[in-house]
Structure 1
Amino acid sequence: MPDLATPLIAWYRESARDLPWRDPNFGAWGILVSEFMLQQTPVARVIPRLEAWLERWPSPAALAEASPGAAVEQWANLGYPRRALWLHKAAVQITEQHGGVVPRDVDALLALSGIGDYTARAVAVFAYGDRHPVVDTNTRRVLARALDAQSQPDPPSTRDLTAMAAILPESEERAAIVNAAAMELGAVVCTARSANCEACPIAHICAWRDAGYPDTGDRRRRQATYAGSDRQARGAVLQHLRSAPDHESALEAVAATWPDSLQRDRAIDSLIADGLAEASEGMLRLPR
């Protein structure tokens, strides 16, 4: 096994982006919120929304006191608005079950609404400094190229955590840096579309580079086109409710938000089913 940790740590300390959640004083709640927001959303879109969110709700207890609809409204255009409902429910759980303190234990984090294996480990590592492997899409790509000579990673599996754990130093502090560095490298240097090997700290020990950059195929799941999709129709309805007085609107007004009536009605039904909207007496509103 090549030593990836040493060059990754040196590179990260020199080149890592200055991001708010990397401030040592950012706190576990801020890191948890940032992890919710960063799921499938670019960093540049997250930063202003994160700052506004934490200014409005600086603690889990503060968010727990608000309505679910307020969380959906504040989520704005980040996409996948069910994350706002999950985050609100998680805040209630943290307040009621953990005294308002984001838990440290991975299993306790996994028991919270909307938190999967990646987010639980990320909070334990980046908020509390515990030693766990943390694997996201960028990390998987870096490991696939550096260790397995693959152009793109295989679909996610438990093997990813095993591979990441194998390169972590014993030191908790250094292990946390390696977790962050692998993500950062995949985000800014070893990207899905190109690999900037001249700027890569592990290029000299990269199996994919040594093999001559073979195209080993790409089995990544492709996201459906957004334009004209049901997701876009849902977004249009939600945006209308966010901007409506008291976040409530007559169904006749909602009907004007999308030209395809069948798709619009499908969007409304799915929003109600997901708890993102409520219907009553000819009105549609954000949840209360």
Structure 2
Amino acid sequence: MRRTTARLALVVAMGCVGTAPALAQRSQTMFNNIYEWQVFAVAEGGTFSGCSLERSGDSGTLRFFLTTGGSWSLDVPAGGRSGIFEAYVGTENGQEVFTLTGDGTRAITDLPIAPGFDEEGTLIVSIDGVAMNWSLFGLSEAVAGTDVCIDYEGDAARLAGPAPALPPGAKLPDEAGGATPPNGAGTSETASTGFVAPPRLPIAAVIHTGNMRAGPGTQYPVTGGFTRTTPVLVVEDTGVPFDGYNWFRVEMSDGATSGYVWGALVCADYPGANPLCR
């Protein structure tokens, strides 16, 4: 994911130029918690429809929504206003004009791509001169966690309904943000002692989306990214935990490119990685 360096300002014009339909009623349940972002599995009419990425603050709740078809949207509090509002994103390189549709409670717009705003910046929203703002810190990892939520169909058991078909012994992601690897998955056992040891590295893995960093943590700069399913080689388990997963050093297939990736994005049967996202 490419990160912009501009501070973003989303400004909604004072004029109302239409009447908005009511936003669909949704039920949602916690899937993950990444920094101060919360990822929810969302159902409409009892059917899984996507995953919501939310951050709360003094201005209310900022929400990004990812459908099962891969479409993103952004919505913010509407401040009691209904209708279709002209809006734009202002950056140091110019402006992008679009519209937000409000129902009095929320105002929503489609996004052409996954949100890749500057994580050191602040998203500013203004409706009729009332400014609202949210920190974007940790956004890329939260977006990646939303992708994992979609890949795993929001862990349908956490909505209303029967438990999903999981590998034997697998546990569901907890609200602290981690999927527990299946009992014994990806391990080797010595029959005489019962000792269970992790498999030896390196091992093959797959990454579907997310960032590669210069070190084992979000404090390190992004050195690359994954936008499609990519085979990698896991060469080191750093032992540095984050939200239920470890940070791993991986190598690309060219053998020359390596970096550190959060374990929730590393699809492998290895402790600290994510065995359920394959």
TM range (shorter): under 0.3
Bigger share in strand: 2
Structure number having the greater helix percentage? 1
Under a length normalisation based on structure 1, what TM-score does the superposition of the two structures give? 0.25
| Higher relative contact order structure (alpha carbons within 8 Å, sequence separation ≥ 6) | 1
